[in-house]
A = this chain, B = another copy of it.
């Protein structure tokens, strides 16, 4: 690989990463929902008008999957891959067809292994932010990252 991978020692608290805006289509909202979250406000624009959302919106679990797609494509290349262990403080906002979502990620905390193993936990705060600067998705994930030493 031409792009260098990152080890535990390469992360610093406050580092940020981002992706260019991603345009969400009605087709992909309906396709994901049809397979994994077949509720009328995710699959049927007419029925969605009568729902609490008042319009078609994306499944929240579609947005976590899309966030991962942008992380893999545009985020740091971590040695051994992205190994998420747990997630906290996950919140959703409504995402509609035509929204443009920008992925941002910030390094919140770094914890080298307490037992001295050559690895550690990096806590990463992810956001998808829409064209109106509103959070469409927010969460903090703890990832296992190998150390050089």
Asked if A86 and B91 sit within 8 Å, CB to CB, the answer is yes
Decide if A46 is an interface residue (CB 8 Å cutoff). Answer: no
Select one of B37, B68, B89, B144 contacting A61, CB under 8 A.
B68
Asked if B81 and A51 sit within 8 Å, CB to CB, the answer is yes
Decide if A84 is an interface residue (CB 8 Å cutoff). Answer: yes
Asked if A88 and B90 sit within 8 Å, CB to CB, the answer is yes
Asked if B88 and A89 sit within 8 Å, CB to CB, the answer is yes
Say how far A30's CB is from chain B's closest CB, in angstroms.
15
Per DSSP, chain A at the interface is mixed
Asked if B86 and A40 sit within 8 Å, CB to CB, the answer is no
Say how far A103's CB is from chain B's closest CB, in angstroms.
13
Asked if A39 and B81 sit within 8 Å, CB to CB, the answer is yes
Copies in the complex: 2
Decide if A7 is an interface residue (CB 8 Å cutoff). Answer: no
Contact residues in B for A51 (Cβ distance below 8 Å): 80-81
Decide if A38 is an interface residue (CB 8 Å cutoff). Answer: yes
Asked if B61 and A64 sit within 8 Å, CB to CB, the answer is yes
Decide if A13 is an interface residue (CB 8 Å cutoff). Answer: no
Say how far A113's CB is from chain B's closest CB, in angstroms.
14
Q: Which of A26-67 contact B (CB under 8 A)?
A: 32, 35-41, 51-52, 59-62, 64-67
Decide if A147 is an interface residue (CB 8 Å cutoff). Answer: no
